[in-house]
A and B are shown apart, each in its own frame.
Chain A
Amino acid sequence: EPEVTQTPSHQVTQMGQEVILRCVPISNHLYFYWYRQILGQKVEFLVSFYNNEISEKSEIFDDQFSVERPDGSNFTLKIRSTKLEDSAMYFCASTARKNNQPQHFGDGTRLSIL
């Protein structure tokens, strides 16, 4: 069964450094998402992406965050200058069609900011 893959599984970074989280969505999917879950809290939406453009973003997704689909398979989330509060699990998701289709999630990247 096709799946969303994320790398790395765990990333440890010094505060203020840039970090790039990578995702390979399911191959025929067109809509891509990033979510995060801070320890002990809910899964929260960050951003949605379609046709090489951001279609929606949350208040969390400020100027420190950016997303990119650099080629036909990868989808990346960049945090330009990490803060301690960026420590969380980051999940990538994808879906084939926007309406009434489930989003399928990867296993996440645990980001630890020191």
Chain B
Amino acid sequence: DQQVKQNSPSLSVQEGRISILNCDYTNSMFDYFLWYKKYPAEGPTFLISISSIKDKNEDGRFTVFLNKSAKHLSLHIVPSQPGDSAVYFCAASAYGFGNEKLTFGTGTRLTIIP
């Protein structure tokens, strides 16, 4: 089941620079997308989400962009901070089609270099 893909298993970014994490999906029924952050031995923590009726959502240092035609979304973190070092998961659901389960990507490990 590869409906949500994160093709970069890891990413290293200098502190203060922009981190860009990418996610691709194949299921056209997905209409709600989320990013979660996960530290070791903890559960996924919700960061930011976007509905398919929008193409951008911003919350502080975090911005999510959605390109429906390309079936691609990205998470921008600017400026990156050492506390941002974690594994980031992209997730999607098809709420509008009565499907509330989240389908997750494999995650990208982000390391912020001081």
Contacts and interface: CB of A to CB of B under 8 A. Distances in A.
Interface stretch (A11-19, A41-49, A65-73): A41-49
Contacts of A35: 102
Report whether over half of chain B's contact residues are helix, strand or loop; otherwise say mixed.
strand
Contact of B101 (A45, A105, A108): A45
A88 to B, nearest CB: 13
Report whether over half of chain A's contact residues are helix, strand or loop; otherwise say mixed.
strand
Interface residue tally of chain A, by bracket? 20 to 34
A4 B101 contact: no
A107 B89 contact: no
Contacts of A27: none
A51 interface: no
B46 A103 contact: yes
Residue among B43, B49, B103, B106 with the most chain A CB within 10 A? B43
17 contacts: A31-B100, A42-B106, A45-B102, A45-B103, A48-B100, A55-B100, A56-B101, A58-B101, A99-B95, A99-B96, A102-B46, A102-B49, A103-B34, A103-B102, A105-B45, A107-B41, A107-B43
Given A58-B101, A103-B46, A105-B44, 16 more contacts: A4-B43, A31-B100, A33-B102, A35-B102, A42-B106, A43-B89, A43-B91, A45-B103, A48-B100, A55-B100, A99-B95, A102-B46, A102-B49, A107-B42, A107-B43, A108-B43
The 3 A-B residue pairs with the shortest CB-CB distance in the complex, in nearest-first order: A105-B43, A45-B101, A43-B104
Interface of B: 32, 34, 36, 41-46, 49, 51, 89, 91, 95-96, 99-107
Interface of A: 4, 6, 31, 33, 35, 42-45, 48, 55-56, 58, 91, 93, 98-100, 102-108
